């Protein structure tokens, strides 16, 4: 049936709904006889455009059940049954002469069937339709357009079965159905992936191998899978791998470009598929994702196809050459200026604030948790917020030379991860010790001995994306906005401390870029870097590098609480 048969206008506002009967064999598992989705518009043309991908997705989902769903699929099933029956009759006819006679008999039968079809005598096919509906439990009622479509498809299937039989025995062994209905059904069937080889099933195999190789972290693979889920929803969850073409990827890319960030969370796009949402977002002139974001999605999809090619799948990479070229993002995390650092350190969070939730307003409350210490740690170590947020009290250590450091740990046993996949030391700057960080560590060790929680910042938990740094990152963006440092999407955030440290290592400590990379945990890939077992950047060397940063011009008056030396 055409799309128009399933669109119904409802309510005072005349909103169009897509209402499609669930195939009868699937109604028990679905728990309903009809699937309904509002198109959210009274515009018929827009509703039709939005409904098309939804209907296609539903049909693909039902098709994956293995049951024939459309009139064409039912007819194709019957076509094969008739053809098998005719061939069986021919083989059982006897010797060659008898088989020739059988073939001539079926040729005569074909002429009769064609005449009946041409004359509109559909009685025999109506009876066939009734038997199939009764036997297979399809929810198709006589007198409906859907019933008439099935009867005509069965007539085509019968004619095609006799035609294929005749052509095969006249020297065309590869003869296939010629009617449009059956050709479309065959084409549809050929696009369905075999068991175990849907896009998401293949991605899960790829992800398992990448994780086992240590090539990708589990949290990254989890985010990659979400991208693949969007792509699979777009091209069809049951789509055969070989049929995914560059034009499919291009359509996905172009639809994604029309969408705003976090489009699924926007009320005006709630419940819509990606194609529908892109069309509506364009109509509403919603802000778009950046080309950089689009490229990130494509760069997540492409490696799967590259891996499949290495696994000897006979395909090409449909993503190749479709990334946007010369996409250079503006500095996403600009460093803080000296003036901005002074404004931060003089702000209520570090001097006294009104209450929880009002940290930007002056008052008498002082924080002794992650709100105060995480940004200070980030400022003095240059480490990533997620790596600092996961620290345990036992990760704060003193080297035999007297240098204090935090072990930024990558350890599956403790659930701690790093971007590089390796543990590394991060130096505790003497100025941070003077501010009282080691006293804070002492207090957390005492607390940990009582409650058994080893975290340095026990209030922090990983979000649903396994990111323990998400909460402080969001808090810090809001705080910077509240105290007048951040404006909109200018890039300022807690990661700006990392860029600030890089600049000061360059300007104040006089380090070269390759030395800065080591100081900040970017382990370099060099020939000598692969020699030996000790990772680049020993604690004493890193200590001398980091102590070269003097924070010239930054006023720490009012937040330094103790002496520079401290033992615990």
pLDDT at 531: 39
Residue 191 has pLDDT above 80, yes or no: no
pLDDT > 70: what percent of the chain? 90
Q: Strand, helix or coil at 76? A: helix
What order of strands is seen across the sheet that includes strand 34-38? 7-10, 15-21, 34-38
If residue 96 lies in a helix (H) or strand (E), which one and from where to where?
Answer: helix 96-119
| 58-62, 138-142, 339-343: range with highest mean pLDDT | 339-343
- Decide if 198 contacts 232 (C-beta within 8 A): yes
- Directed axis angle between helix 145-168 and helix 123-136, to 10°? 110
For 132-165, give the DSSP string: HHHHHT----TTSHHHHHHHHHHHHHHHHHHHHH
Q: Which pTM was predicted?
A: 0.56
pLDDT at 66: 52
Lowest mean pLDDT across 196-200, 214-218, 321-325, 376-380: 214-218
- Decide if 537 contacts 425 (C-beta within 8 A): yes
How far the first Cα of the chain sits from its last, in Å, is: 77
Domain map (residue ranges) of the chain: 3-63, 71-190, 199-310, 338-547
- Phi then psi dihedrals of residue 406, to 5 deg: -110, 135
pLDDT digits (tens, 9 = 90+) for 20-42: 887 766 676 667 778 899 988 88
For 224-279, give the DSSP string: HHHHHHHHHHHH-TTB-GGG--HHHHHHHHHHHHTSPTTGGG-GGGTT--HHHHHH
- Decide if 15 contacts 40 (C-beta within 8 A): yes
CB-based burial, 541-566: b 16+ in 10 Å, e otherwise: ebbebbeebebeebeeeeeeeeeeeb
Residue 211 has pLDDT above 60, yes or no: yes
Q: CATH class for domain 338-547?
A: mainly alpha
| 57-71, 136-150, 189-203, 237-251: range with highest mean pLDDT | 237-251
The residue to which tokens 């890193």 are assigned: 542
Contacts of residues 529-532 at CB distance under 8 Å and 24 or more positions apart, as own/partner, are none
The residue to which tokens 């075999």 are assigned: 194
Q: How many CB atoms lie within 10 A of CB 18?
A: 21
For 398-413, give the DSSP string: E-TTS-EEEEE--BTT
Residue 181 has pLDDT above 50, yes or no: yes
Q: Strand, helix or coil at 566? A: coil
If residue 35 lies in a helix (H) or strand (E), which one and from where to where?
Answer: strand 34-38
Q: Strand, helix or coil at 392? A: strand
- Burial class of 112 by CB neighbour count within 10 A (0 to 12, 13 to 18, 19+): exposed
- Burial class of 505 by CB neighbour count within 10 A (0 to 12, 13 to 18, 19+): buried
pLDDT confidence bin for 60, thresholds 50/70/90: low
**For the chain, what is the radius of gyration of the CA atoms?**
34
For residue 361, what are the CA distances in angstroms to 26, 101, 376, 483?
59, 99, 19, 9
DSSP 8-state assignment for residue 37: E
- Decide if 542 contacts 427 (C-beta within 8 A): yes
Contacts of residues 352-359 at CB distance under 8 Å and 24 or more positions apart, as own/partner, are 359/479, 359/482
* Two tokens, residue 179: 């009617």
Return the biggest CA–CA distance within the chain. Answer: 110
CB-based burial, 353-389: b 16+ in 10 Å, e otherwise: beeeeebbeeeeeeeeebbbbbbbbbbbbbbbbbbbb
Residue 330 has pLDDT above 80, yes or no: no
Q: Strand, helix or coil at 103? A: helix
Quote the mean pLDDT of the chain.
Answer: 86
pLDDT > 90: what percent of the chain? 43
């Amino acid at each position: 049936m055409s799309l128009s048969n399933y669109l119904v206008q409802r309510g005072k506002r005349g909103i169009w709904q897509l209402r499609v009967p669930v195939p009868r064999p699937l109604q028990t598992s679905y728990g309903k006889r009809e699937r309904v989705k509002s198109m959210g518009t009274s515009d018929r043309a827009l509703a039709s455009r939005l409904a098309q991908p939804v209907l296609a997705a539903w049909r693909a989902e039902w098709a994956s059940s293995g049951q024939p769903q459309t009139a064409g699929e039912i007819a194709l099933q019957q076509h094969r049954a008739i053809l098998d029956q005719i061939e069986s009759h021919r083989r059982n006819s006897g010797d060659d002469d008898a088989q020739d006679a059988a073939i001539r008999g079926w040729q005569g039968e074909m002429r009769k069937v064609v005449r009946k079809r041409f004359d509109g005598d559909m009685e025999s096919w109506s009876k066939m339709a009734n038997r199939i509906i009764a036997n297979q439990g399809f929810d198709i009622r006589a007198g409906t357009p859907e019933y008439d479509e099935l009867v005509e498809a069965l007539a085509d299937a019968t004619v095609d079965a006799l035609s294929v039989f005749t052509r095969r025995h006249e020297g065309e062994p590869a003869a296939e159905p010629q009617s449009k209905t059956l050709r479309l059904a065959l084409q549809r069937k050929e696009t369905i992936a075999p068991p175990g080889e849907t896009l998401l099933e293949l991605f899960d195999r790829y992800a398992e191998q990448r994780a086992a190789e240590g090539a990708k972290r589990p949290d990254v693979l989890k985010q990659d899978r979400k991208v693949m889920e969007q792509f699979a929803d777009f091209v069809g969850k049951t789509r055969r791998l070989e049929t995914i073409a560059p034009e499919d990827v291009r359509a996905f890319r172009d639809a994604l470009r029309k969408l705003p960030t976090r489009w699924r969370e926007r009320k005006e796009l709630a419940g819509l598929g990606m194609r529908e949402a892109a069309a509506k977002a364009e109509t509403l002139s919603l802000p778009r994702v950046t080309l950089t974001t689009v490229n990130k999605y494509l760069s997540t999809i492409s490696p799967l196809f590259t891996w499949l090619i290495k696994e000897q799948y006979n395909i090409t990479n449909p993503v190749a050459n479709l990334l946007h070229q010369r996409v250079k993002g503006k500095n996403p995390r600009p460093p803080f200026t000296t003036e901005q650092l002074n404004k931060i350190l003089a702000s209520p969070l570090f001097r006294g604030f009104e209450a929880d939730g009002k940290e930007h307003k002056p008052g008498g409350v002082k924080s002794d948790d992650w709100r105060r210490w995480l940004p200070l740690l980030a400022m003095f170590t240059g480490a990533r917020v997620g790596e600092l947020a996961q620290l345990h009290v036992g990760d704060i250590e003193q080297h035999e030379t007297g240098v204090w450091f935090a072990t930024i740990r990558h350890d599956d046993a403790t659930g701690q991860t790093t971007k590089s996949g390796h543990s590394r030391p991060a130096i505790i700057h003497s100025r941070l010790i003077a501010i009282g960080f080691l006293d804070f560590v002492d207090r957390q060790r005492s607390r940990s001995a009582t409650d058994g929680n080893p975290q340095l910042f026990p209030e922090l938990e990983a979000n649903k994306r396994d990111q323990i740094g998400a909460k402080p990152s969001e808090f810090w963006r809001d705080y910077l906005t509240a105290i007048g440092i951040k404006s909109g999407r200018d890039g300022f955030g807690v990661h700006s401390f990392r860029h600030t440290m890089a600049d000061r290592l360059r300007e104040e400590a006089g380090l070269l870029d390759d030395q800065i990379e080591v100081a900040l945990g970017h382990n370099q890939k060099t020939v000598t870097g692969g020699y030996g077992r000790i990772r680049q950047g020993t604690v004493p060397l890193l200590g001398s590098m980091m102590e070269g940063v003097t924070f010239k011009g930054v006023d720490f008056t009012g937040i330094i609480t103790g002496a520079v030396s401290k033992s615990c």
